[in-house]
Amino acid sequence: MQNKNIVVTGGAGFLGSHLVHLLLNKGNKVTVLDDFSHGKELHLKEIADNPNLKVIKGDITNINNVKEAFEDRQIVFHLAVLDLRQSIKEPQRVNDVIVDGTLNCLNVARNNNVELFVNCSSSEVFGTAQYIPMDEKHPLLPETPYAASKVAQDMYTFSFGRTYGLPWTTVRPFNMYGPHSHWQGYRGELIPKMIVRAMNKQPLVIFGEGEQTRDFIYVEDAAKGILDVVNNNACRNKNINICTGKETTIRRIAEAICNEFSLDPNVYIQKQAPRPGDVMRHLGGNSYFKELTGYIPQTTLEEGISKTIAWFKSLPYTPEELLKQEVLRSWE
């Protein structure tokens, strides 16, 4: 993955911004297409002056924006998305972006004869584990409108390969965390919201007893893993899990963050009622990933949380300002 002309939809977002950094470091020319509803210019600040970076503010549901961004691009990384929590409140809007937007991207990629369409899916397509670990053959049992839309995205990508011969690879990252993650309002993610609350000595919210489990992978490890997949021709036209193969409870995450801030977990962990559509058990199978690429994520959970806290402390906001953004319609 060197000296290529590449487009990254959602390239200013959480995972996308890390991927763009890596692609530029390899000498590629990268066009970012992002509407900045989730992505932030701050995420691209360090590379804003790179002559190989082009940023287009646009929406994948707008076919003209997609055509402009995909022009003369050899490889597409399709990461643009709206999130799970938003899908509970606005299923139609999330479907429009994930499904209709993906169809726009696939059609333009096919018409442009791109070398590879990298479809970034989600482990949410699997739903609650029917068996452990969840490998690539696990049934698709979406539990939220977001997950159902991602299943449709994956099936459309697969069908364009079968019908039109479009080269594709689908990657399914499990639960990512790290710098550039979202903490704001109901769109915020678990670990960053907990960090912001801990910074302000506010309760860390868990749902139920916090016995839900996730396979957490540090975002930089996920981005490197995706590039390893793309660099391997054996991964073409396949679905690949990007995960650690390690299972962690939500309560343990809350306890680890409390420990980082010297807070008593018995005081600062607050239980709330279970959430609708909450997956109860999630553990990825990464043996296929390791077999094809040899890649093993290197960042431990403790190291990753520490690095994420350091990033939050580096932001141009006070802890109080971070909290004001976090509590906006929080935990809905």
Distances (CA, A) of 322 to 54, 73, 111, 192: 29, 38, 44, 10
Q: What is the pLDDT of residues 202-253, one digit of tens each?
A: 999 999 999 999 999 999 999 999 999 999 999 999 999 999 999 999 999 9
Q: Does 150 share its domain with 200?
A: no
Q: What is the CATH number of the domain that holds 60?
A: 3.40.50.720
Full domain range(s) for residue 110: 5-173+218-242
Q: Is residue 332 part of a domain?
A: no
Under DSSP, the state recorded for 185 is G
Tokens at 267, concatenated: 């005081």
Q: How far is CA 73 from each of CA 50, 56, 106, 255, rounded to the nearest angstrom?
A: 18, 14, 13, 45
At 146-201, the pLDDT tens digits run 999 999 999 999 999 999 999 999 999 999 999 999 887 666 788 999 999 999 99
Question: Do 211 and 222 share a domain, yes or no?
Answer: no
pTM over 0.75: yes
Is residue 329 pLDDT above 80, yes or no? Answer: no
In this structure, is the dihedral angle defined by the CA atoms of residues 42, 43, 49 and 55, taken in order, positive or negative? negative
127: CB partners within 8 A, 6+ apart: 140, 141, 142, 143, 147, 279
Give the span between the Cα atoms of 188 and 199, in whole angstroms. 16
- 61 shares a domain with 18: yes
**Under 8 Å CB-to-CB from 279, ≥6 apart: which residues?**
124, 127, 128, 143, 212
Residue 117 lies in a domain: yes
Q: Are residues 288 and 153 in the same domain?
A: no
Peptide bond into 139 cis (omega under 30): no
CA atoms within 13 A on the CB side of 50: 22
Output the CA–CA distances (angstroms, integers) from residue 37 to 81, 179, 187, 321, in the order listed: 10, 18, 11, 20
The average confidence (pLDDT) of the chain is 92
Residues 101 and 206 in one domain: no
Q: In total, how many domains does the chain have? A: 2
Selection from 11, 58, 49 nearest residue 30 by Cα: 11
The verdict on 143 and 180 lying in the same domain is: no
Alpha helical stretches, state H, 126-215: 145-164, 190-199
Q: Locate tokens 């990629």: which residue?
A: 109
Is the predicted pLDDT of residue 76 greater than 90, yes or no? yes
Q: pLDDT at residue 330 above 60?
A: no
What is the pLDDT at residue 84?
Answer: 79
